[in-house]
Amino acid sequence: MEKRREIPWPRIFAESIAIVVSILLAFWIQAWWDGRQERSEERELLVTLMEEFEEKKRLYLYTSKYIQGIKDSVNELLDIALNSELDASEEHIDRLIGYTWWFADPEIWRPGALNSLIASGDMGLISNRELRAVLNDWWMEFGKIEQYSIVDRDFGNNRQTPFLARHASLPQILNATKQQPGHPSVTYEHGKEYMIESRVSHSELLANREYQNILAERSSHLTDLLTFALYDFEARADQTMALLRQELNE
């Protein structure tokens, strides 16, 4: 009989262990690489979002004063219209009417990076659950600000401006508009100075009940925008940016 060949179990066992370890190592390396790639993508997203919130905060700091300037002009005109004891020059009234001709721009509040993140379904790349919830809330908040701004813009275009076109001298008002509302140091140039031979007294316009009602409605829209849509914007943006920095520093 042939001599029974011995089976090298230790060597087979060692080779089996080596194969298993190599497979597990390959899986671990792939998982590590995928995790690194996801973290890299997450970091890029966080940096982009941080830049967007910094820009929106700067926008808020400027635009909130601008909107407040429009509202102050509307309210001052309404005060002059309703109180006969208040005296204002024709030039001052023209300037105030000119400031009310401005409106909030809805499009500046659209958050491009955040909208892209929501639309792409990549929100899961952000590992911090609290931050994901905050960003979802902001997506709705920016939508609300835009909607309130649309209401103000449409009221100005569809109600206020047609009335002024019928009852006021728009070239005269343009001549009186030299700065942006809320930012007296920022000049506004509409192109040229119109030569007006016969000036219109817009103080008489303030006695018009329909115009008084237009001013009251406009004040309400601007109050809603400042009070409901933009309320505590700066503090909330700072809190969100603090969360973003925390994730970027980890």
pLDDT by 10s per residue, the chain, length 250: 455 566 666 666 666 666 666 666 555 555 544 455 556 788 899 999 999 999 999 999 999 999 999 999 999 999 999 998 888 999 999 999 999 999 989 999 999 999 999 998 888 888 899 999 999 999 999 999 999 999 999 999 999 999 999 999 999 999 999 999 999 999 988 778 888 888 889 998 999 999 999 999 999 999 999 999 999 999 999 999 999 999 988 7
Residue-level pLDDT at 125:
86
Residue-level pLDDT at 194:
83
Residue-level pLDDT at 85:
81
User: Amino acid identity, residue 177?
Assistant: T
Which of 176, 172, 163 is closest to 73 using CA atoms? 176
Residue-level pLDDT at 33:
44
Overall pTM surpassing 0.85 (yes/no) = no
| 95 contacts 176 by C-beta, under 8 angstroms | yes
Residue-level pLDDT at 32:
45
Residue-level pLDDT at 34:
47
| 246 contacts 170 by C-beta, under 8 angstroms | no
The DSSP letter of residue 6 is: P
| 169 contacts 200 by C-beta, under 8 angstroms | yes
Encoding tokens for residue 202?
């817009």
The DSSP letter of residue 186 is: E
Q: By three-state DSSP, how is residue 185 classified?
A: strand
How far apart are the C-alpha atoms of 174 and 73, rounded to whole Å?
15
Cβ neighbours for 117, distance < 8 A, ≥ 6 positions apart: 45, 49, 123, 135
| 170 contacts 164 by C-beta, under 8 angstroms | yes
| 225 contacts 195 by C-beta, under 8 angstroms | no
